[in-house]
Structure 1
Amino acid sequence: MTTPQSWEARAEEYSLYGFTDMPSVHQRGTVVLTHGEGPYVFDTNGKRYLDSNSGLWNMVAGFDHKGLTEAAKAQYDRFPGYHSFFGRMSDQTVMLSEKLIEVSPFDRGRVFYTNSGSEANDTMVKILWFLHGSEGNPKKRKILTRWNAYHGVTAVSASMTGKPYNEVFGLPLPGFIHLTCPHYWRFGAADETEAAFVQRLARELDETIQREGADTIAGFFAEPVMGAGGVIPPAKGYFQAIQPILKKYGIPLIADEVICGFGRTGNTWGSQTYDFTPDAIISSKNLTAGYFPMGAVILGPDLADRVQDAVEKIEEFPHGFTASGHPVGCAIALKAIDVVMNEGLAENVKRLAPRFEAGLQELAKNPNIGEYRGVGFMWALEAVKDKPTKLPFDASLSVSERIANTCTDHGLICRPLGQSIVLCPAFIMTEGQMDEMFEKLEQALKQVFAEVA
């Protein structure tokens, strides 16, 4: 067998790609990266790219933050690894749990650690099943989410994810129910006001609970802003309409803040941005600013007390991961929270968010941009063939993939999602870098729309 020589050939020969457009890989090759500086990354050919996706939403402090790497090095020297089983955990784990409750919307609670947001959502489902079974309600197992939501890739969290690509795995599993996506621009009826659209979704939720039976529903999971669904903020008043219904039936509301949490929407939590208090929060990504794989389930006071009672009944919570509460990850997370909240990153998001929106508003004047949407430092542009009717391009044209590939040619990394282009840069982005992002994106849009429109 002849060994491939180039980085691109070696990647394609030995790697199984996740969420990757394979025709693009076969035609263009893999971009193999070597290092980063600030919000930029560099490939094996020395080409520099402005990463407006901040890795995968998570590298919010950039790719070379000395404080974060030093925190990791110091903890590796001090105590390089441990678990959180059998009544033992590191001091960093204890301190991080204290910090997470301190910065959460809760006055008290409990934290459980995982290695990713997918595992955290999976764990939260198991917690709900465990809790309801302990309280004498073993039928309360159904999980409510929304179409176009993204909650992860484990069998359970993928079942929660309302995306058709999971059908290739035979998912969702039974008992996972997807409600209407709260995207008014796309799913509102022609003569329907935004308020009427919200009331329709609230009625759908109430009717679904009555049809399925409140005594069979374990919880409702929702991203404050749908991230991997294409950056979809909720219709105005959505959470205020649905939360009273959930409370009426005693169904916990779980905020999946994997993407929104720690500053992405302009506040510490997306639930703060949209003015609701969940019963629990799922955190990951920005929790460690991308410098360590970690997720967390943050239980509010009611669920924390009830789960602890369930644990006491059987004398343990039979769940966990080898690296749950890893001391290095916790040390990095403590530093990352400090960096975002106290080094000006959160303030920079608030300061530049209006400039971000203004730049997108200008790009949206293009006749093939149907909508721009988002909040804080997470936005999307939706490509359309016909703006008045919102008619999308034929899927065979792969318009968003073309735009993203053309951006890459110009030294800009952005993300295609459906027919949208997503921009979610690092919180350290400067005004000049934002201008660079918009200039390169505008060039790509003009080039691609000239080819397909």
Structure 2
Amino acid sequence: MGNNSWEARADEYSLYGFTDLPSVHERGAVVVTHGEGPYVFDTKGRKYLDSNSGLWNMVAGFDHPGLIKAAQDQYARFPGYHAFFGRMSDQTVLLSEKLVEVSPFDRGRVFYTNSGSEANDTMVKILWFLHQAEGKPQKRKILTRQNAYHGVTAVSASMTGKPYNSVFGLPLPGFLHLSCPHYWRNGKPGETEEQFTARMAAELEATIIKEGADTIAGFFAEPVMGAGGVIPPSKGYFQAVAPILKKYGIPFIADEVICGFGRTGNTWGSQTYDFMPDAIISSKNITAGFFPMGAVILGPDLADRVQAASEAIEEFPHGFTASGHPVGCAIALKAIDVVMNEGLADNVVRLAPRLEAGLAEIAKNPNIGELRGVGYMWALEAVADRATKTPFASTLSVSERIANTCTDLGLICRPLGQSVVLCPPFILTEGQMDEMFEKLDKALKKVFAEVA
């Protein structure tokens, strides 16, 4: 890298987030300039098929004309406002109506943030506020799961069941992480998947009894753990845990930041796994990545209770300057229409079996221990020994090497632990899917030949 190259300038002035620093220092950052469909291009003119959809969110690709026009038209009409003091844009009102309409709830209320992290953080504050108002100030503990990802603010990072948050002195007190419902990795010898699910449910109830149901504010779960490595729940998991939460009066919050708006093959991941939450957290696909936005969608019971608590003190004292931004809302309205009515959601349903079959063929490689996923979100887990599920030594950085090799071949995928994650844009064609298969297979074979 020359001293004035894009890579050198990025390295000099940027603080990288969630980046393998030895790798980026050796190889340099990839500085992208523009995108076409599911492809992005860097400063050197190299073309990459982005099988990560940016960061799960660019589901309509990088140059969708309808989304660009929606942004341009709204910027020309009304470029910015807030949602404070009883004032909000017309686009904000329209989007709230649309989100409740497409939600699994028959009615509800919506609160806007700028990200999924802020939406989860906001939901926790809503629960604390609600329980305090209802005379139960001790109901503050939050239940999530190990390996779950809920965000990076101090509260949402405390919800995130990842060991890396220990470097920040997190989690905060009162954030409890139950076992990860990953049967392939965490099932005991001789334990059936149904028995594993029963064990997960028993752990939940035992935790509630131990901590005291009157101290627990809520339970948060992703329908499929995304940044945990695309981990679908074990069979019957949500049907086992939902009645327990209801029995003890604990609100059930579905974190649909990744799963929402089509990623699993249904509008909501909670529909895919057949459970009804009390509230939904949305972000990413809500604007197809064209604007930073998050939303808390409260179902009827929580909406009524929070409204009553707010009325009692004459306000809900929380918000962000750009909450319900009119441009973001206009883009979101168009993005929802694009996904649901322009064939993108249909494309996921139509091609998901082809995606699974192609990855299953690649997963025959003896160094792939598990292929897991649903819809348009999948992971391949690398192992040194398939029979014993023994991972490669962490010093080998196998998934990082696979991702880097894919990048060299013109394919962007994501390393997560020992896994490689693929979550392609919903516009992916069969030909582009074949391109992804070919480059991924080539990268896997190259890296495994070097380390196995």
Q: What's the TM-score once normalised by structure 1's chain length?
A: 0.99
Determine whether 1:158 maps to 2:157: yes
Q: Distance in 2 between matches of 1:181 and 1:172?
A: 17
- Match of 1:219, SS state, is strand
Q: Distance in 2 between matches of 1:101 and 1:403?
A: 41
Letter aligned with residue 411 of structure 1: G
Q: Distance in 1 between matches of 2:3 and 2:397?
A: 29
Determine whether 1:399 maps to 2:398: yes
**1:422-437 to 2 correspondences below 5 Å:** 422-437=421-436
Contact 1:150 1:163 in 2 (8 A): yes
Q: Distance in 1 between matches of 2:370 and 2:20?
A: 24
Specify the alignment match of 2:351 in structure 1.
Answer: 352
Q: Distance in 2 between matches of 1:226 and 1:435?
A: 26
Contact 1:4 1:13 in 2 (8 A): no
**1:273-422 to 2 correspondences below 5 Å:** 273-422=272-421
Specify the alignment match of 2:237 in structure 1.
Answer: 238
Specify the alignment match of 2:102 in structure 1.
Answer: 103
Letter aligned with residue 70 of structure 1: K
Letter aligned with residue 221 of structure 2: A
Specify the alignment match of 2:86 in structure 1.
Answer: 87
Determine whether 1:247 maps to 2:276: no
Letter aligned with residue 227 of structure 2: A
Letter aligned with residue 379 of structure 2: A
Determine whether 1:145 maps to 2:144: yes
Q: Which runs of 4+ in 1 moved over 6 A?
A: none
- Match of 2:442, SS state, is helix
Q: Distance in 1 between matches of 2:24 and 2:182?
A: 32
Give the drift of 1:288.
0.1
Q: Distance in 1 between matches of 2:256 and 2:358?
A: 26
Specify the alignment match of 1:125 in structure 2.
Answer: 124
- Match of 2:384, SS state, is coil
Letter aligned with residue 351 of structure 2: L
Q: Distance in 1 between matches of 2:201 and 2:8?
A: 51
Residues 149-170 of structure 1, C-alpha deviations (whole Å, 9 max, x = no match) = 0000000000000000000000
Determine whether 1:256 maps to 2:230: no
Letter aligned with residue 306 of structure 1: R
Specify the alignment match of 1:216 in structure 2.
Answer: 215
Residues 296-351 of structure 1, C-alpha deviations (whole Å, 9 max, x = no match) = 00000000000000000000000000000000000000000000000000000000
- Match of 1:84, SS state, is coil
User: Aligned-pair RMSD on alpha carbons?
Assistant: 0.6
Q: Distance in 2 between matches of 1:190 and 1:355?
A: 32
Give the drift of 1:360.
1.1
Specify the alignment match of 2:60 in structure 1.
Answer: 61
Q: Would you say how many aligned residue pairs link Structure 1 and Structure 2?
A: 451
- Between the aligned residues of both structures, percent identity stands at 84
Contact 1:142 1:176 in 2 (8 A): yes
- Match of 1:305, SS state, is helix
Q: Distance in 2 between matches of 1:246 and 1:272?
A: 18
- Match of 1:209, SS state, is helix
Give the drift of 1:190.
1.1
Contact 1:280 1:299 in 2 (8 A): yes
Specify the alignment match of 1:168 in structure 2.
Answer: 167
Give the drift of 1:136.
0.3
Residues 238-274 of structure 1, C-alpha deviations (whole Å, 9 max, x = no match) = 0000000000000000000000000000000000000
Letter aligned with residue 452 of structure 1: V
Q: Distance in 2 between matches of 1:425 and 1:440?
A: 14
- Match of 1:287, SS state, is helix
Letter aligned with residue 439 of structure 2: K
- Match of 2:33, SS state, is strand
Residues 97-139 of structure 1, C-alpha deviations (whole Å, 9 max, x = no match) = 0000000000000000000000000000000000000000000
Q: Distance in 1 between matches of 2:388 and 2:3?
A: 49
Residues 178-217 of structure 1, C-alpha deviations (whole Å, 9 max, x = no match) = 0000100000001100000000000000000000000000
Contact 1:345 1:427 in 2 (8 A): yes
Letter aligned with residue 332 of structure 2: A
Q: Distance in 2 between matches of 1:164 and 1:452?
A: 26
Give the drift of 1:4.
3.6
Letter aligned with residue 345 of structure 1: L
Letter aligned with residue 148 of structure 1: N
- Match of 1:36, SS state, is strand
- Match of 1:144, SS state, is strand
Structure 2: gaps spanning 5 or more residues: none
Specify the alignment match of 2:115 in structure 1.
Answer: 116
- Match of 1:173, SS state, is coil
Q: Distance in 2 between matches of 1:46 and 1:5?
A: 17
Residues 62-118 of structure 1, C-alpha deviations (whole Å, 9 max, x = no match) = 000000000000000000000000000000000000000000000000000000000
- Match of 1:203, SS state, is helix
Q: Distance in 2 between matches of 1:4 and 1:254?
A: 49
Q: Distance in 1 between matches of 2:235 and 2:198?
A: 11
- Match of 1:232, SS state, is coil
Q: Distance in 1 between matches of 2:380 and 2:201?
A: 27
Q: Distance in 2 between matches of 1:125 and 1:26?
A: 38
